[in-house]
A and B are shown apart, each in its own frame.
Chain A
């Protein structure tokens, strides 16, 4: 079945550092890809998405590009802030049927001032 693999966490960076969180996927068909963010005690918030190969999703300084040839959707940000501390989930939605989300295990990010 479909699956998503994220880089192991936790990740700790200093403010203004460059961020990359790796995400690769396995899927049949052509899924849509997502990054969600979860703050403590909260549900999931959509950060960005891409629906087809070579699409770039972007939001709040975060970017990710749908790479079909490497089955990847890595999350990047050029200069992180303390407020970016959260858990980040990569996910795909299957292309047919329920189009349910399949999530990676999450990466906890901590930004120190």
Chain B
């Protein structure tokens, strides 16, 4: 297993378009997290899955954002009608059980630029 994979690494899109990102966690990890990181800031929590169930969503996740994790494996994050304020690095992380005890593994991120 090569860790957490995210695709694409970079995405440039025009304002108003829809975009979708994919995250493949470490295969045995049951917890999956999405974070957003803007320039010069620390990552901010967006949403959390335990297996296929989405159990928590941040208020940052407006109704233009949707995330899925079918069958508890890979996850997708879709942004509809993108805005310039959506430009950021989107990070995915996974953990086996309690991340506090076992740690969280991050992917390299998808950098979104909305023009």
Which residues of A approach B to under 8 Å, CB–CB? Answer: 4, 31-32, 34, 36, 42-46, 49, 51, 89, 91, 93, 95, 97-106
Contact = CB atoms under 8 A, between A and B. Distances in A.
B103 A49 contact: yes
A40 to B, nearest CB: 12
Interface in B1-59: 4, 6, 31, 33, 35, 40-45, 48, 55-56
A102 B48 CA distance: 13
B100 interface: yes
A103 B44 contact: yes
B74 interface: no
Nearest to A4: B42
Interface of B: 4, 6, 31, 33, 35, 40-45, 48, 55-56, 91, 93, 95, 98-101, 103-109
A45 B100 contact: no
Given A43-B107, A51-B101, A97 B43 contact: no
B91 A106 contact: no
13 contacts: A43-B6, A45-B106, A46-B105, A49-B103, A51-B100, A93-B104, A98-B55, A99-B99, A100-B45, A101-B99, A101-B104, A106-B40, A106-B42
A100 B107 CA distance: 16
A68 to B, nearest CB: 15
A106 B39 CA distance: 11
Contact of A102 (B45, B55, B101, B104): B45
A43 B109 contact: yes
Contact of A44 (B43, B44, B55, B101): B43
Contacts of B109: 42-43
A103 B98 contact: no
B33 A100 contact: yes
